[in-house]
Amino acid sequence: MIYTDQMNQIIRLESTPKRIISLVPSQTEFLYDIGLTDEVVGITKFCIYPDVWFRNKKRVGGTKNVDLEKVKALKPDLIIGNKEENTKEDIEALQKIAPVWMSDIFNLEDALEMMVFLGIICDKQKETDVIIQRIKKASFDLLSDSNPEKKKLKVAYLIWKDPYLVAAKNTFIDELLKYLELDNFFENQERYPEWKPDANNVPDVIFLSSEPYPFQEKHALEIQSILPNSSIHLVDGEMFSWYGSRLQWSFDYFKKLKAELPSRIS
């Protein structure tokens, strides 16, 4: 069987995979949700959901430092990775061990496509379709509740501290911010630039993500002292950046978060 991944690479499988290694936490959760309990034999140390897999599945290192010997020992017939999460060096080495299917995700359509492809490859189309339909309905419902005439506030979404790094254009996070009727404060920058808070250039709203850096209330107070007029919120980073089945719950979360945002900044 011949498949194409989201990096337009061809992979060949002799049959439906029975020994899968997942190198991406959000995709690992998706594989669990479509019922691949026996087929997934290896995950990373950051694949914390579901907890039963985190406690019992073999771990093959981190997303960016895969232990190749542990991978070899598990004798996978399919490895699932992601262009942003995993390193080029690791992936090239892993391709010598087993077929590697790569995702490359920038928007909701890419995320849904990834799930469709993996559902087909793993013979779990029905289970996958249930999840996809839930995501489509939730995202449509939230968009239907939007006001196109409303003036949009500018948001800064922080993912790291010392230095502060933000999610700018050309990221999955930026795509999901649109569902909150917010414009990215860093719309003229790409990917994850550094930011130095400046009292002369102030976002209306600041989101402090729970991951990859675990922002807390004390960090919100630090930034608030510099930017007293910004509306600062601690947010669940998994809802903004996990592009697997977690998206089933993201849009309901966004709806509640949206209700907490100011209608305007004075």
- Comparing 142 with 47, the larger pLDDT belongs to 47
- Comparing 201 with 144, the larger pLDDT belongs to 201
- Residue where a domain terminates, one of 139, 162, 183: 139
- Measured between its terminal Cα atoms, the distance across the chain in Å is 59
Show the domain range for 254. 148-260
Please report, as a single letter, which amino acid is at residue 66. V
Q: Is the pLDDT of residue 266 over 60?
A: no
Per the structure, how many domains does the chain have? 2
Residue 243 pLDDT: 95
Token pair 């699932």: residue: 80
| Percent residues over pLDDT 90 in the chain | 90
C-alpha torsion angle, residues 176, 180, 181, 185 (rounded to 10): -70
What does the DSSP assignment read for 39-53? TEEEE-TT--SSHHH
Q: How far is CA 56 from the centre of its chain?
A: 23
pLDDT averaged over every residue in the chain:
95
The whole-number average pLDDT for the span 44-68 is: 96
Residue 149 pLDDT: 64
Q: E strand or H helix at 108, and its extent? A: helix 108-121
What CATH number is given to the structural domain containing 161? 3.40.50.1980
Residue 198 pLDDT: 87
Q: Is the pLDDT of residue 85 over 70?
A: yes
Q: Based on the domain organization, do 11 and 134 belong to the same domain? A: yes
Residue 264 pLDDT: 65
Residue 265 belongs to a domain: no
Q: Based on the domain organization, do 123 and 14 belong to the same domain? A: yes
Judge contact between 215 and 234, C-beta under 8 A.
yes
Judge contact between 169 and 187, C-beta under 8 A.
yes
Q: Based on the domain organization, do 115 and 157 belong to the same domain? A: no
Q: How far is CA 111 from the centre of its chain?
A: 9
Nearest to 152 by CA among 20, 260, 246, 265: 265
